[in-house]
Amino acid sequence: MEKDILISQFLKLFPEFNDRYIEHMEFNQEFLGHVFFGDEVSTHVERLLQEHSDIEQIEKFFSFFEWMALHSDLYIVQILSTTILYNFGGDADVLYKADRYMGVHTKKLSVEIEDLHTGKHFS
């Protein structure tokens, strides 16, 4: 059910991803949230942040990410933190640019995932 909520909300806001979603479903025979959001969404938003050309689109994505961060379902929050935000952390410039668009809850998750990524909790 949570997968259905996530993808339906996403496609409602970003109908331009509908064809990629259909391809994903045909290839995988099911919706794999971490794969779809890692391969399609995260890489697209990273590109937008690198080019820094479509601010309105960037803000729209980060508004959706804040919705994900506030969601009560752990699956949705995990896709945001361990797939999308973790990917952003792989490029310091992308993470720096992303930070200014993050909502309070998205930023909190980003800090937590970066602390894990850098091993801060294991020092």
User: Is residue 69 within 8 Å of 77, Cβ to Cβ?
Assistant: yes
Q: What is the mean pLDDT of the chain?
A: 91
Measured between alpha carbons, how far is 77 from 83 in angstroms, rounded to an integer? Answer: 10
Category of 103 on φ-ψ map: left (φ > 0), alpha (ψ -120 to 50) or beta: beta
Q: What does the pLDDT look like over 15-69, one tens digit per residue? A: 999 999 999 999 999 999 999 999 999 999 999 999 988 999 999 999 999 999 9
60-87 as b/e: b if 16+ CB within 10 A: ebbebbbbbbebeeeebbebbbebbbbb
